Structure 1
Amino acid sequence: MPHIPTDSDVYEVFAQSGHGTALNHVGSIVSPRPDAAWHLAKETYGRRDDLVKLWVVRRTDMIVSSADDRGLLAAKTRMPYRQPGFPTARRRDRSASPPAAAPPERRDSGLTERRDDAREPGLTDLWLALADDLFVLGNRLGEHIVDYIDLEEALAVGSIGQEALAHAGTILVLCGFDQPAVDARFFDRAQAQWQVSRVVERLTDWPSLVAGGLVIAAAVAVLAEQTAEAEQTAEAEQTGGAEQTAGAEAGAAWLPAITAIRDEQLVHLDHWRRWARALAAWPETRTEFARAYAEVTERAGDMFGARPQSHAQGVAAGAATAGPALAVTLHERLAALVGENGGPGSRLPDGPGTRTWGVGGSALADSLSRGRTVRDEYAPGVFS
């Protein structure tokens, strides 16, 4: 009885025609056996050209994208700094002293704030504070890209650092900042005007960066989920025939970007979990990581304790912080996510705390100093 081909008989063929060239998909073949498939592929695709490599893979053994994955494959958080023309696109003439510019105005972000009163910070204030944390984390990770013998690990560290910076910038744009205002916020503020978490103070070595990266990624994912829920609720309340307001339209624009940031931070969280468990398992690093993890999580009670961004430096200690119910909800979600991914030993406080202006220690100071040095000395006129 003749063999009737099935899906498992289809093999995809990949060939490399010369040293230094890429391995390319060249076609498909049908064969009842893997060994016969390779020889059939050689005769079919290697008869006229010399091949350096020939790979044959059963189609059913491959993980491939489908039409439904198009949204997942799209680059949702653009990173223009990876493009070769990025610096030159924003050149300006520095031969004359620049005129004193008024503080950049922020556009209405359209984000559902749900404030109880004018002094209480809403979701936007929480996002602005986390953007500060991401900016410092991205800078600190940049120092550790070359610390690995394993190239894949070094690339992972670099990618997470770049995406932390990209997410920080994206958050500011969503909050209504234009590009000059984004740059001014990250590079022109004095340290006393920053409102980073106390976690940032501890980002001074690799074990602490692993613990801090895990906590920050978890916090961003938690706040993104809360934001998506708030926007979906607001959108549902808008339905009913009434014309959609400009604020609602702007708020709806948050959803795709915030969802993308959440998904990418969850990928980061998976990396941090793997590194945390490795450091906790190795005898050489077990004690050091346990200490770093305990100290970082102990400081993480203020992740959702941002003060209103409109407050001046030196705001009274009793000033309003994030709404108690919202802060408690976010803190509980953070505790669950950190405990699930970081393992035992967490000292995360039982309840949320409050952020303080001007903390960050040497981790923040070094990040600001390095960024300003590059902008001032790297190439006149490149950065505006």
Structure 2
Amino acid sequence: MKTPKIVLLTFFLSASFLGMDSINAQGCVAIRHFSSCVGNTLESNLLGEGDIQIGSNYRYFKSFRHFRGTHEEPDRVSNETEVINHSHSWDFFLTYGITDRLYTSITIPTVINTRSSLYEHGREERNTTYSRGLADIRVGVGYWLFDLEKHQNGNLALGLGIKLPTGNFNASDIFYNVGPEGGPETRPVDQSIQPGDGGFGVTVDFQFYQKIADKLFAYGGGFYLINPRETNGTRTFRETLSPLLENEAIMAVPDQFSVRAGASYAISNTISTSLGARYEGVPVKDLIGGNEGFRRPGNVLSIDPGIAFVKNNFSLNLNVPFAVRRDRPQSVTDLETQELTGEPRAGDAAFADYLINVGVSYRFSNKKVKVAPELMGEFKS
């Protein structure tokens, strides 16, 4: 088989990224950690029959800048009332080439999250809650639409996957100054740092590449996570902040999405760079199922530079997307309360300035199939 020049896209979501003027509802990150079900590095889906790719992707962000709509509230940082989330996640994946065009993959994610806030601890002192452990496992298949040997300068792959509710969606910790007589009380941690969401999901994704010039390729792709389950039964305790938040007492199981596009260029036989844009988030309403329960819809547009090192069957890559536009639109519960009270309501949410994605992978080749260096190491989630 001739050397196919192919780019692979993997998609995320980060964080469960993401209350209202008069009721002082608080924000948190809007986009949870997530990626598509078929691979964590660009070259993972370019496999010969019987090839195996294993690897891991690490992702970190700190969310702390509060937004209502696209308007930032800088006073939250200056007066030290901001909510601060630190999110660490590791995706461990294995991809297998069923044929030269058909592949399957499993991703096992783990997370360690912290959340520092005032309002969750009686507004008297800042305290931190934690969560950690296995997140929601994903399994998927993908297929390149065109013969890889005959279409080395461009191709398109479609994928379908399943998200399993393996992560804890009722992780708990100690909250201070909110229990009986103002003492501590064990409660579920905020939705944004729950390891799982409690729902079976389906992902649909696509990825494409196109050669532009020698050593220069355009890439693109995205995924959408369909979560049919409406709520997962986990209590938020938001109704204890105000009776008007009764409709946000139980956590929702929201959809997520991500889209990426850009260009990659091979500097040498082992090093390539990329520059693109990504748009990702949690929608206000799901494609399938109801929209009740508490969610923080939000979306982020980022500029996404990256660099990759590839040597033989080993690859290492780094991407640091930084946000250029953040938006926390009105949620369904925001609009319900607005109609009930006749007063404007727009919830806030905290977003990160940037993400850090580091991926490493190794290929066990059944055949001698070499991948063009400029196509490898892209599309970290």
Same topology, TM > 0.5? no
Q: Which has the higher strand share?
A: 2
Q: Which has the higher contact order (CA 8 A, sep 6+)?
A: 2
TM-score, normalised to structure 2, is 0.21
Q: Which has the higher helix share?
A: 1
**Structure (1 or 2) with the larger CA radius of gyration:** 1
